[in-house]
Chains A and B, each alone.
Chain A
Amino acid sequence: MAYDPNNPMADRITDIGPPHYEQMFPPVIKNNYGKWLYHEILQPGVLVHVSETGDECYTVRVGSARLISIEHVRELCDIADKHCGGYLRFTTRNNVEFMVDSKAKVKPLLDDLASRGNKFPVGGTGAGVTNIVHTQGWVHCHTPATDASGVVKAVMDELFEYFTSMSLPAQVRIALACCLNMCGAVHASDIAILGIHRKPPMIDHDTITGVCELPLAIAACPLGAIKPAKATLANGDEIKTVSVNAERCMFCGNCYTMCPSMPLADPEGDGIAILVGGKVSNSKSAPKFSKLVIPYLPNHPPRWPEVVQSVKKILVAYAKNANKYERLGEWAERIGWEKFFEACDIPFTIKSIDDYRLAYNTWRTTTQFKFTSHVK
């Protein structure tokens, strides 16, 4: 039976969850579930996994824009139908993986991918830069301080050689979130590109009544910068509203999330901060948060040159100086953050000194430090 708009509740099916994962597995995956012995990267973007049954699974990893059309998805399906028996998968970092069960099938697949222009770059494995985890930005969100897809495209164009090779000391995970909500959870990335606001919210007294629950807006501010207030509208009506103590504002945007009449976004105020040195893996050192090293770069669409160059600069300094296996944050900690700023040629500003909660934990409480050009 088809959907009946006059009776939408007829035959309703709910709470069935996603399709079971097993029906999505190609035979080589299904047959070797839990039996994998080891893997090797044959060339950037091409992996082989070997099972205790003797089976092999060859995977070709390709980049993707994440924001993709169904025409593109259909093309992915065409490729998977032609080479992979009608199966494919996506990685947590928005790459696409085509899997085949013999080495002979790899080359035809690679040739086919290469014949389709720049749509399917092969890479993103090992000690390189893989795809950038990111968020919606101007294509679909109401709170961004920058775009997502465009910045990612510009950065990946510049770092393309690192996507298609494995020449870095370790993997470098880059992530972008277009506001402090951080849908993309950039806070534990080797390099985090973060959209920030720098102007306090405006208050639209004309619309605040009705669209805002004032107590919620007031409670939303972690710094208590929002207070109840009164205002007189042009028509003489006196209304209950809020006021913002701009001195106290840290531009987190939480108030706007709760109240549409408190917009913060601004072409001059908004921009991008760069945080570095985070990781989630427990390998060698414990997971680390990314640290703020560049407090602000302007929004310069369409290609954000300042952001692209800053990311490149950090990556190149890391590639040159870090030891094999050393993640970016491990390198910075080994040489000391004071040396990091020098090595990357990034000016140290007062904005990198924490004054939020638990800030004291990051202040230096020892006589041990290195002299750098910063100490005059």
Chain B
Amino acid sequence: MAKHATPLLDELEKGPWPSFVTDLKRQAEKSPQCWDILGQMELSYKDRITHWKHGGIVGVFGYGGGIVGRYSDSPDKFPGVAHFHTVRLNQPSSKFYRTDMLRKVCDIWEKRGSGMTNFHGSTGDLVLLGTTTDQLEPLFYQMTHELNWDLGGSGSNLRTPSCCLGKARCEYACYDTQAACYGLTMKYQDEIHRPAFPYKFKFKFSGCPNDCVASIARSDLSVIGTWRDDIRIDQAMVKKYMAGEIPAEGNAHGSRNWGKFDIQKEVINLCPTGCMSLDGGALKIDNANCTRCMHCINVMPRALRPGTDTGATILCGAKAPILEGAQFATMIIPFMKIDPENEFEELVELIEKIWDWWMEVGKNRERVGETMQRLGLPTFLEVMELDPLPQHVKEPRSNPYVFWKEEEVEGGWERNVKEFRKRHNM
């Protein structure tokens, strides 16, 4: 029986989209704390304000991340959620699950928490929503002993890395995103669990420039698959697309009649670099001028494929607007082989160089992109020992305020003003 009346939330049981309210009520039959989630939320709907307090520091022994403390500001009314901490479980790469394992997570969470979850949190973790401090150690024990499953990150540490679906079910993947994500997650367990950074640091791995995990917008280190040879063309299939025998973009526009497929209009004219043409019915790509944007491949996946000399472009420093404004990641390394065989040696070397620098010069709560912005891309490239490339900028600077170094100028900076005056009267 419902413990609190929830007339406002009940309105959200209507409509075609799945209702979290209906779901909460269903869970409340088994997990009575859920009545208090509903009750407190109803109060928020009435008051139009949150009723959660500032989190406290809770966790499991030896870890500085993975648990987020949460307390109700009205524990008398809602004792079931008085203490309501969040547990972040590190999701398996690209979020495939075996049901027997998921069921075990459910069983543990039924016993040890509210029974509510997020599939998934924004960073990618499987989030268990709401439990008390005394349940944290036993929960952690069960997860590690019974399921071989560890917590993710929170706080000023390496946040749980995430990756796109990649080679598991996508024909565009230019490197093994799962292997990279898992490999680096395992390598950096200490950095995930024990905060030692100025602020959070995120890795995200996308297999191609479509960037399905938004790594260019969200990660401090963004690894985006690409290739450096030629787009593979199957001219016979190009003809089939032109004849309208295969729907464009895998039928992504199937619910609307856009008219007959027009390769000139829909592919060639939309190529951002104008590097495509039709030559006697054959599709030509001037690959030296292609910027690998994916548009033509997205539209004609059965005719065009990324090249075979594949790897990734490495970008650095994305973040949401807090504080200095939003930043996309800046292109740092145009092409790097991402090789599980050598344990991602080159990438690891770069990551550790970035961390060393950022941990030394970064201010408290400064994302690496802000440190880069504060100290400048030239400084960053120098510290990373990377050659400056025209690819690093959209255009050259338009001001002449160059920070020349003394050793770059003939004769250095030491001069004698008296000598100067001998030749130049005041």
Contacts and interface: CB of A to CB of B under 8 A. Distances in A.
**Residue from B9, B173, B224, B321 whose CB has the most chain A CB atoms within 10 Å:** B321
Contact of B254 (A39, A121, A163, A166): A166
* A81, A133, A282, A325: residue with the most chain B Cβ atoms closer than 10 Å: A282
A171 B148 CA distance: 38
Contacts of A284: 270, 272, 293, 295
B92 interface: yes
B250 A39 contact: yes
A183 B98 CA distance: 28
Interface in A236-274: 252, 254, 256, 260, 265-267, 270
Contacts of B137: 3, 5, 8
A257 to B, nearest CB: 9
Contact of B148 (A1, A19, A135, A186): A19
Interface string B350-363: 00000000000000
B16 A157 contact: yes
Interface residues of B, number: 138
Most B C-beta atoms less than 10 A away, residue of A14, A92, A160: A92
A89 B99 CA distance: 10
Contacts of B317: none
A254 to B, nearest CB: 6
B27 A70 contact: yes
Contacts of A260: 53-54
Given A126-B252, A127-B253, A37 B49 contact: no
A175 to B, nearest CB: 9
Interface stretch (B111-119, B276-284, B417-425): B111-119
A49 to B, nearest CB: 5
B371 interface: no
Interface in A44-65: 44, 47, 49, 57, 59, 63-65
Contacts of B320: 177, 181-182, 185-187
A67 B118 CA distance: 5
Contacts of B77: none
Contact of B142 (A3, A66, A96, A303): A3
Contact of B90 (A17, A57, A119, A187): A17
A18 B209 contact: no
Contacts of B51: 138
A94 interface: yes
B70 interface: yes
Given A182-B321, A222-B323, A287 B216 contact: yes
Interface in B15-63: 15-21, 23-24, 26-27, 30, 34, 37, 41, 44-45, 47-55, 61-63
A142 to B, nearest CB: 4
Interface residues of A, number: 135
A21 B295 contact: no
Contacts, number: 404
A23 B375 CA distance: 44
A143 B301 CA distance: 44
A149 B45 CA distance: 12
Given A11-B145, A71-B115, A92-B212, A138 B193 contact: no
Contact of A69 (B23, B94, B168, B328): B23
Contact of B182 (A21, A67, A167, A254): A21
Nearest to B24: A69
Nearest to B185: A17
A170 to B, nearest CB: 8
A267 B169 CA distance: 46
Contacts of B169: 29, 36, 49, 57, 59, 99
Contact of B217 (A67, A280, A357): A280
Nearest to A41: B251
Q: Select the residue from A16, A49, A65, A139 with max chain B CB neighbours within 10 A.
A: A139
B363 to A, nearest CB: 9
B20 A68 contact: yes
A100 B51 CA distance: 44
Provide the main secondary structure of the chain A interface. Answer: loop
B326 interface: yes
Contacts of A14: 62-63, 144, 150, 189, 193
A335 B137 CA distance: 58
Nearest to B125: A18
Contacts of A228: none
Nearest to B166: A34
A91 B53 contact: no
- With most chain B CB atoms within 10 A of its CB, the pick from A136, A280, A287 is A280
A73 B118 CA distance: 10
24 contacts: A18-B90, A18-B91, A19-B149, A21-B168, A36-B169, A69-B27, A89-B165, A120-B18, A126-B253, A127-B249, A133-B122, A138-B41, A139-B129, A147-B45, A150-B12, A168-B256, A184-B122, A187-B321, A254-B322, A260-B53, A281-B210, A302-B11, A303-B11, A358-B325
Interface of A: 1, 3, 5, 8-9, 11-21, 23-26, 29, 33-34, 36-44, 47, 49, 57, 59, 63-74, 76-77, 80-81, 86-92, 94, 96, 99, 118-121, 125-128, 133, 135-144, 147, 149-150, 153-154, 156-157, 160, 163, 165-168, 171, 177, 180-188, 216, 219-220, 222, 252, 254, 256, 260, 265-267, 270, 278, 280-285, 287, 289, 299, 301-303, 324-325, 356-358
Given A21-B96, A121-B17, 11 more contacts: A5-B138, A33-B168, A37-B302, A59-B169, A86-B100, A126-B253, A150-B12, A181-B322, A222-B323, A254-B323, A267-B48
